[in-house]
Amino acid sequence: MRTALWKPVSETAALVALAALAVGAWAGWMGWDQRRDAHPDGTTTGPYGAWQIAGLVLTLLVPVCWAAWRRHVVAAVAGTTAGLTAAAFYDWSDDSSGLFVIGVGLVMLGCLAATGVVCAVVASVRRSR
């Protein structure tokens, strides 16, 4: 009975911690590179490199797996998604065209899908043990 009383508290703490970690990871990996790279042929790329996105994903993979292993699946999915969505919205909201909302929506959907799959795999591995 005593453990059941702490479950909502630990779930909420995990959700807030994962959201804060996602915002911090976004700031660390994506926040410092805000300009496009111009190439000699006139094309531009960026502002983010593939290595930055891979770093962000790998940074968040460990805490999401940890939370899922501890049976905080809702916190892992919702916290990470909320953090990345808020960070993307804040980072891209200065776009005057308004198209940043589509990008933010895609970040949200991609994060929901990716964290959902990771949590399902972790839960399956935990059950098989």
pTM reported for the whole predicted model: 0.87
The pLDDT, as a whole number, for residue 3 is: 62
Closest C-alpha among 74, 57, 62, 71 to residue 123: 71
Q: How confident is the model at residue 74 (pLDDT cuts 50, 70, 90)?
A: very high
Give the angle subtended at the CA of 42 by the CAs of 39 and 46, to the nearest 5°. 50
The pLDDT, as a whole number, for residue 22 is: 97
Contacts made by residues 57-63, CB under 8 angstroms, sequence distance 24+: 57/114, 59/25, 59/28, 59/29, 60/21, 60/22, 60/25, 60/84, 61/118, 63/17, 63/18, 63/21
Residues 45-61 have pLDDT tens digits of 778 888 999 999 999 99
Instruction: Report the alpha-carbon distance of residue 8 to residue 20 in Å, rounded.
Output: 18
Cβ–Cβ < 8 Å for 79, 22: yes
The pLDDT, as a whole number, for residue 114 is: 97
- Mean pLDDT for 72-101 is 94
Residues 19-55 have pLDDT tens digits of 999 999 999 999 877 777 788 888 877 788 889 999 9
The pLDDT, as a whole number, for residue 70 is: 92
